[in-house]
Structure 1
Amino acid sequence: MIIDGSNIAQRIGNALDSVRKNIQKRIDDKQNNRAYKIMKSQWKIFHMMYEDLEKTKPYYMRGINEYLTQEQAIGIVFDEYPEFGQVWTAYQEIMKAMHNKDLSGFEDIITHYTIMGNDMDSAISTFAKKLIREFKTASPRTIQMDALKV
């Protein structure tokens, strides 16, 4: 089995977006909710690796009409919606394992993942089933680390 990094990135990215959109739908006062405005207008920052987020220099964020760092913006969202922070953390860990071609780290993440009752669960359970099946039936040489990159 070759674990296709682009397939994994796409599935978990879609799951992250789905959870974000579901949270946005639950918000009643969309016009006055800072977290909603950040999730709506600055959605791309949630797909960035934490290391790449701007942490020191605030810039004007359209949609929310404030000067914030990207780190502050995601912090506002995660403070109000910690379940989204948990999904984002899982996304970050998987992307980091893929970037580092860390198959054992990737396996640890998906086999020790805590079910949260959202779309990230199905994405991760799919990869967990495939990995477990492969490890039971194949030699380690059949799993190619080069496929674990984005």
Structure 2
Amino acid sequence: QLAGRALDTVRIQCIRKLSADKRSREYKILKSHWRLLHKYSANLERQKRRYLYGLNEYMTQAEAINLVFNRFPNLEQIWNIYQQILAAIRTRNALLLVEIFNIKPKNLPDEAVVLIKTLKKNIKGISESCDSPYSNGPLEGLNRKIKQISRSGYGYRNLANFFNRIRLEL
């Protein structure tokens, strides 16, 4: 999440620099096709050209991103860090994460420096989460369902009925 927020912060700074020229192709990509920046680089379309709405032209997703990177190299730097983090998490490779933490914060955007320092500070927990095959996703799903039951019921007078409802749902 921290890496995604840092990427979005730099993207918004780039949009503000282009605010005088709202008709530029880069502005339209950053404004309406921002999801391309959060997409895993291996999943970007590199061959088939598609019509990009708002931009009103045909181009691949990789071409659209490279168009923005030509104008804003600092966005490309933080995007590369973001992609490395995504790759490390997808492959559960703690060593790759440690390599990212060892990047020297020279000529990087401030958000990238904060990102690297924060990840370095929490390196133990992050590397353990990569090594562990377990996830707290199922538990969080159960918590969400229980909260939803209590919200939709507006409270139960009898606590036993509330627990029975939870057992029925789960």
Alignment TM class, shorter chain as reference: 0.7 to 0.9
Q: Which has the higher contact order (CA 8 A, sep 6+)?
A: 1
Matched, 1:54 2:39: no
Please name the residue that 2:119 is paired with: 127
Aligned to 2:132, the other structure's residue is in SS state helix
Aligned to 1:13, the other structure's residue is in SS state helix
Residue correspondences, number: 133
Unmatched 5+ stretches in structure 2:
138-170
Match of 2:95 among 89, 100, 104: 104
In structure 1, how many angstroms separate the alpha carbons of the residues matched to 2:94 and 2:134?
Answer: 7
In structure 1, how many angstroms separate the alpha carbons of the residues matched to 2:60 and 2:31?
Answer: 16
- Counterpart of 1:117, as a letter, is P
The alignment's TM-score, normalised by the length of structure 1, stands at: 0.80
Larger radius of gyration: 2
In structure 2, how many angstroms separate the alpha carbons of the residues matched to 1:101 and 1:86?
Answer: 22
Please name the residue that 1:12 is paired with: 3
In structure 1, how many angstroms separate the alpha carbons of the residues matched to 2:66 and 2:39?
Answer: 14
- CA-to-aligned-CA distance 1:59-97 (integer Å, 9 cap, x gap): 111111111100000010001111111110010011101
Residue identity over aligned pairs, in percent, reads 30
Misfit runs of 4+, over 4 Å: 147-150
Please name the residue that 1:41 is paired with: 32
The CA RMSD measured in Å over matched residues stands at 2.3
**Quick one: structure 1 residues 107 and 147, their matched pair in 2 at CA, closer, same or farther if it must change by over 3 Å?**
farther
The alignment's TM-score, normalised by the length of structure 2, stands at: 0.71
Please name the residue that 1:27 is paired with: 18
1:113: Cα distance to partner?
4.3
